[in-house]
Chain A
Amino acid sequence: GAVVSQHPSRVICKSGTSVKIECRSLDFQATTMFWYRQFPKKSLMLMATSNEGSKATYEQGVEKDKFLINHASLTLSTLTVTSAHPEDSSFYICSAKRTNSYEQYFGPGTRLTVT
């Protein structure tokens, strides 16, 4: 299967700061990447769809100015959590898909803790 990496795997930051999470497809070009958030014992919730070279599409209830997404190349998408608050603490997971394929390959996730 395809390989997707995420960095960092774990981050602790102070309230009010911003955190950037990178998602990379290592062995294929991903025209579309997805960002999810998962709270403990809950399902993955899609936050946004990231398309290379265009603006991300956000799901209802997700603030685009709070969660900035940039998909500047076919192998890299970034999610920046701006002015983080403790309620933003969660497990953030990205996935990537090949063109014309439905299968999504997931990154290992980033555990964000905001103190």
Chain B
Amino acid sequence: AQSVAQPEDQVNVAEGNPLTVKCTYSVSGNPYLFWYVQYPNRGLQFLLKYITGDNLVKGSYGFEAEFNKSQTSFHLKKPSALVSDSALYFCAVRDKHSGYALNFGKGTSLLVTP
């Protein structure tokens, strides 16, 4: 099965500091990996994706993610966190066995404090 894992339920970071939200994957073949963000009472917003090519993927709102095949990881990063980045972050992988639906991690709650 194609799956991802987010090992941290919550990440706390001070405003202005770099942030990392971790994701590891378990996939047969080449993974199609995604990051989404969910603000309270809102839908999921697409941040970025890795399909192929450069291991460093840049996305919306200053976020980026690094694909690491040897460590089977796809961590989300931002050089300088904002209070407004506080939200729930989901890593996901396309599952070729289910019509390429998204299999999501359990989510990581990011709290950025002033």
State whether these chains interact.
Answer: no
